[in-house]
Every structure is written in C-alpha cells, then in structure tokens.
C-alpha cells in the first residue's frame, strides 16, 4: 500500500433508515438489526503522523467538541497504535443519532491507513463503538449483532431532509427507557430498484424501536417529526439512530431541497440540510 505525508478522509453522516432492537446480551450490549445509508454531507479529517498526538477542530459546529484524548478521533488512533496530528472540520451535530463521532473515528482510521500503509483489523472495530464498523465501510449496509456484523446491500440512492433541533440525546438513557429489548428483526430485503420502492418497503416493514423512548426523553423530537411529515412531498419521516436527528425521504432531490428551505425558514434555530443518501 502506497503511503503519503498527509491524508484526508470524509466522515459522512450515517442515517439509520430502520433500527430494530432484537435482544440484549448478558454483558448489557443490545442486539440490533439496522438498515444504514450515508449522506453526501459530513465532517472532514486531515492527518499527518506526529510524535505527539493532537487534534484541532474547526467548522460551523466546532464549539464544545473536545480536543483531548476523550475524542473518538484520538481514541481511534491510540487503538490503532498510531500517533498523529489531526484537523477536524466539524459540520455535523454531536450526540445526534447520525454517527458524527463514530464517523470521525472511522475516517481517522482510513487516513491512518493511507499514512502508514497498515490496514486496521476490521474485525475489532466494534471495540471503539457500535457504529464505528458501519461508518468505516461508509456505504449502504445492514448492521446486525452489536454493530460488528456488516453486510453490504444494494439500495437505490434516495433524497432526504435531515433535521436536528440542536438538542443532545444520551444513547444509554434512550436504551434504558426502551420498553422491550426483544423485538422482531427486519424481514429479508426484496429487490429494491427505485427510491419509491425503498420508501414503500421502509413504510410497510420497518421501524425505529428507539424512537418512542427518545421522544419521551426529548419531546422536541415529536415536533421535528411533525414538521417533517408536513413538508410537501415527504413520503416518510422517522428518527435516525437514538436521535435527536430525524429525516424525511423524498422521491426527488429538488423536492428535498425545497422542503429543507421551507423547514429552515420555519425553524431557523434548527440544523437542517437536504442530502442524497447512498
């Protein structure tokens, strides 16, 4: 593998189109069955090897992002046995259910691979967090187990509006409030060729089991979903991950862009973006 002096990597937003909680292991970890796609919007990582590890953060959502060893970027580097200086351009909200920190960690690992020529042990990525494995591959996947079982799936690109009310939601607290830990998994995916077919499948066969407890913890999530459902052309509105980011799916990107502009005008204090998911 060819190495470089400086490497850059994209950390796209992860969207859980569906998230079924199917059980809980004796060690407390929850078993999941989730359909995941990634947006053409995300954070950006730049890295170079350094004797002293470090992290600087810029971007519109840089405020309050930790730059010490507790940040998942530096945790990922230490886990990989590497020392590097990172620059993180933060465009995604934190604790938002779209894998911001996990995607940053995965991007850091991809950058380190380019710098060192050493491939990471992908079988151990879940040690860094349940979302890190799927974010490392950063493509449409079905995620099962505790996040370590990743199966690539063929899904058509779909337009979406992402909306976050700038409220952080604690994933552990959401799981603690989950009424049932033993729920049915998703059915097998049929051939899905068009965005409309994908949306219909999601409407009829899937859900997000974390949405009710998250709404109980942060009632504003209900308002986000109501406003997304009310947008012209919205086919499905649902929460992503453990929240508070929610999404609405559309048949066309033009409709999503118009809807995002409308929602931004309604709630200029929210984080809103029209994206492609693939």
Which pLDDT tens digit goes with each residue over 217-276? Answer: 999 999 999 999 999 999 999 999 999 999 999 999 999 999 999 999 999 999 999 999
CA distance between the termini of the chain: 27
Instruction: Report the number of distinct structural domains present in the chain.
Output: 2
pTM metric for this prediction: 0.95
Residue 138 belongs to some domain of the structure: yes
Q: Based on the fold, state whether residues 138 and 166 are members of the same structural domain.
A: no
Query: Could you list the active site residues?
Result: 14, 131
Which pLDDT tens digit goes with each residue over 161-192? Answer: 999 999 999 999 999 999 999 999 999 999 99
Residue 244 belongs to some domain of the structure: yes
Q: Based on the fold, state whether residues 235 and 119 are members of the same structural domain.
A: no
Residue 1 belongs to some domain of the structure: no
CB 82 within 8 A of CB 49: yes
Give the domain-ending residue among 84, 117, 150. 150
Backbone torsion region of residue 171, taken as left when φ is above 0, otherwise alpha when ψ lies between -120 and 50, otherwise beta: alpha
Q: Based on the fold, state whether residues 43 and 142 are members of the same structural domain.
A: yes
CATH number, domain containing residue 181: 3.30.70.890
Range of the domain at 241: 155-277
């Amino acid at each position: 593998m060819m190495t470089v002096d400086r490497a850059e990597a994209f950390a796209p937003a992860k969207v859980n189109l569906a998230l079924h909680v199917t059980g809980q292991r004796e060690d407390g970890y929850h078993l999941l069955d989730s359909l995941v796609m990634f947006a053409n919007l995300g954070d950006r990582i730049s890295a170079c090897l350094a004797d002293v590890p470090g992290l600087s953060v810029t971007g519109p959502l840089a405020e309050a992002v930790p730059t010490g060893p507790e940040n998942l970027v530096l945790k990922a580097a230490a886990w990989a046995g590497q020392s590097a200086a990172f620059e993180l351009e933060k465009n995604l909200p934190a604790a938002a259910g779209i894998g911001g920190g996990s995607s940053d960690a995965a991007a850091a690992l991809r950058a380190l691979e380019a710098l060192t020529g050493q491939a990471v042990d992908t079988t151990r990525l879940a040690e860094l967090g349940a979302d890190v494995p799927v974010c490392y591959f950063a493509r449409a996947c079905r995620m099962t187990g505790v996040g370590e079982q990743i199966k690539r799936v063929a899904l058509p690109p779909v337009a979406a509006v992402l909306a976050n009310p700038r409220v952080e939601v604690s994933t552990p607290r959401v799981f603690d409030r989950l009424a049932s830990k033993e729920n049915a998994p998703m059915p097998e995916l049929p051939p899905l060729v068009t965005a409309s077919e994908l949306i219909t499948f999601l409407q009829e066969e899937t859900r997000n089991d974390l949405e009710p407890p998250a709404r109980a913890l942060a009632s504003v999530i209900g308002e986000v979903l109501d406003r997304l459902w009310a947008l012209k052309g919205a086919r499905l509105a649902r929460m992503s991950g453990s929240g508070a980011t929610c999404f609405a799916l559309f048949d066309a990107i033009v409709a999503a862009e118009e809807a995002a502009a409308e929602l931004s005008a309604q709630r200029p204090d929210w984080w809103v973006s029209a994206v492609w998911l693939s």
